[in-house]
């Protein structure tokens, strides 16, 4: 199953790969070179399909937990001052996605969307300390009766050229459901209330919609 954001790119990629395959077969007569190029085309197609995959996730819906918004590796767990919306201290948990991870963004909690804003910006590498403030990004704030307000931020990386965010103010968010997509490498930051019990460690690998990031 592939994400809808990838349908056009996948079709175009298939057309290009088939055209190149025919061209290589027609114009290249050196056997080892021909089959090497065939292999490269196959790998390229595989990577595109891999990137836009959208596997089904079995979210255990609970108002007492925060689930990972994306697949990837936990690269930040720290108390920080969140400048854009809260303007106070929060617990930040950041998940970095490599180009091989699933890049679907999912709602980390149930609740109402209070705030959703897109920011144009730079394309620093996603793990850069200033990426969350200077890169292209979107900020979404959700609220429910259990956790109060939780912010998540999609951040473009050096390879990411488009952030897709479906969350709109007043929408009802359902934990684990699709809330967006980031194309070609990125990270997502979560900002949680102080006192939240973090259930992951640095360098843990998490699955969007399934892995529990935190609980009360």
- Catalytic residue IDs: 186
Q: At what angle do helices 7-27 and 31-51 cross, to 10 degrees?
A: 180
Beta bridge partners of 106: 178
Q: Name which of 177, 179, 183, 176 is nearest 141 in CA terms.
A: 179
Beta bridge partners of 187: 96, 155
Q: Report in angstroms the alpha-carbon separations of 67 from 3, 52, 106.
A: 20, 21, 9
* DSSP designation for 184: S
């Amino acid at each position: 199953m592939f994400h809808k954001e990838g349908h056009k790119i996948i079709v175009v990629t298939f057309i290009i790969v088939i055209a190149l395959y025919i061209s290589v077969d027609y114009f290249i007569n050196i056997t080892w070179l021909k089959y090497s190029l065939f292999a490269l085309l196959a790998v390229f197609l595989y990577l595109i399909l891999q990137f836009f995959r959208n596997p089904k996730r079995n979210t255990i819906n609970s108002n007492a937990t925060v689930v990972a918004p994306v697949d990837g590796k936990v690269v930040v767990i720290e108390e920080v001052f969140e400048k854009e919306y809260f303007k106070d201290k929060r617990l930040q948990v950041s998940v970095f996605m490599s180009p091989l991870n699933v890049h679907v963004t999912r709602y980390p909690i149930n609740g109402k969307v209070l705030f959703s804003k897109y920011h144009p910006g730079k394309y620093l590498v996603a793990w850069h300390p200033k990426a969350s403030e200077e890169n292209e990004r979107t900020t979404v704030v959700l609220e429910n009766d259990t956790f109060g307000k939780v912010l998540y931020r999609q951040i473009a990386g050096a390879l990411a050229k488009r952030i897709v965010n479906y969350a709109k103010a007043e929408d009802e968010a359902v934990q684990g459901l699709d809330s967006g997509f980031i194309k070609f490498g990125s990270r997502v930051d979560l900002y949680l209330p102080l006192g939240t019990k973090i259930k992951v460690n640095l360098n843990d690998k998490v699955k969007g919609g399934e892995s529990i990031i935190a609980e009360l």
